[in-house]
Amino acid sequence: MKIANAVLPFAVGGFVILTGIGVYLGLFNSPSDYQQGDTVRIMYIHVPAAYLGVMIYGVIAGSSLSLLIWKHPLAELIARASAPVGLVFTFLCLVTGSLWGKPMWGTWWVWDARLTSMLILLFLYAGYIALSNAFDEPGRGNKPAAILALVGVVNLPIIKFSVDWWNTLHQPASIIRMDGPTIAMEMLTPLFYMLGGFTCFYLMILVIRLRSEIAASKLRIAMMSGAMASNPEADNQQSASEPGRREMEKVGG
């Protein structure tokens, strides 16, 4: 948590500065595309949102793996704190893509492999959030949710390579490809600023959400021990709360 607190000011600063430069360059100081005209500027939101949607899912999957195998207490919190952020960015990616698709392709939506696999990612996020909150007892949903997160990892390479494996309406990769980016430098620069800015935004939100998750679990434990102090008959439950308290100290420290 000390690391997280140290990261926060950099994340906030990075988000404000990089996104500020990115938005300025993207909207006012970058050329319009030879085919798409000004519609190309949607890319400066669409691509970072897609990248974050996929990247955050990778973070959740990595955390789930370490939760299942090493039972790391922070892993669970990181995964829970990240999921809604990833959901929002995946949704943003689908919406901006749709807004771009109507004027450029001539359709809001088409069931091609890239769009469909991205939609599945959105449902995976929703399923993960629902499953991890499906139990009254806090923490019980973590394990099934972690398994779901790992199952969903197969979708990530499918998203990335869908445009190569099948005929899709979505264009092939422009940035990460064997022969280098096919985006002109003047457009690539604002895009990279936006990618950096969005990543900082995720880090910022992650730290804030981690703090509140930890505060919530401290509060829960405090309430539990408070209830026990006033009710001595609940002595047999004391032992159940012990691991929870230890976990809290571990995370909080």
Partner 1 sequence: MRKAATRKQRRMMIVGAGFASFALVVGLTLFALEDGINVFYGPTEVVEKVVEPGQKFRLGGLVEEGSVTKSGATTTFRVTDMKSSVQVAYTGILPDLFREGQGVVTQGMLDDAGLFTADEVLAKHDENYLPAEAVEAMKRAGTWKDTAEGEKATQ
Q: Which stretch binds partner 1 (CB under 8 A): 19-27, 30-38, 212-220, 225-233?
A: 30-38
Q: Which stretch binds partner 1 (CB under 8 A): 2-10, 20-28, 98-106, 199-207?
A: 98-106
CB-wise, 157 or 252, nearer to partner 1? 157
The string of DSSP letters for 184-217 reads -HHHHHHHHHHHHHHHHHHHHHHHHHHHHHHHHH
Among 91, 99, 105, 228, the residue binding partner 1 under the rule CB under 8 A is: 105
Backbone angles phi, psi at 39, to 5 degrees: -60, -20
Q: How far is it, in rounded angstroms, from Cα 242 to Cα 48?
A: 43
The single-letter code of the amino acid at 209 is: R
Residue with tokens 């980016």: 181
Q: Which stretch binds partner 1 (CB under 8 A): 10-18, 72-80, 150-158, 230-238?
A: 150-158
Q: Is 166 in the site for partner 1 (CB under 8 A)?
A: yes
The 44-83 site mask, x for binding partner 1 (CB under 8 A), equals ---------------------x--xxx-------------
DSSP three-state, residue 33: strand
Contacts of 140-148 with C-beta under 8 Å, sequence gap 24+, read 142/67, 142/76, 142/80, 143/67, 143/68, 145/64, 145/79, 146/63, 146/64, 146/65, 146/67, 146/68, 146/76, 146/79, 147/64, 147/68, 148/124
CB 161 to partner 1: min, Å: 11
Among 172, 226, 243, 252, the residue binding partner 1 under the rule CB under 8 A is: 172
Among 8, 23, 33, 58, the residue binding partner 1 under the rule CB under 8 A is: 33
The 200-239 site mask, x for binding partner 1 (CB under 8 A), equals ----------------------------------------
CB-wise, 37 or 243, nearer to partner 1? 37
Asked if residue 78 lies in contact with residue 206, where contact means CB atoms within 8 angstroms, the answer is yes
CB 72 to partner 1: min, Å: 11
Among residues 222, 220, 224, 210, the alpha carbon closest in space to that of 252 is found at 210
Q: Is 106 in the site for partner 1 (CB under 8 A)?
A: yes
Asked if residue 113 lies in contact with residue 155, where contact means CB atoms within 8 angstroms, the answer is no
Residues that bind partner 1 (CB under 8 A): 30-37, 40, 43, 65, 68-70, 103-107, 110-113, 150-151, 153-154, 158, 165-169, 171-174, 177, 182-184, 186-187
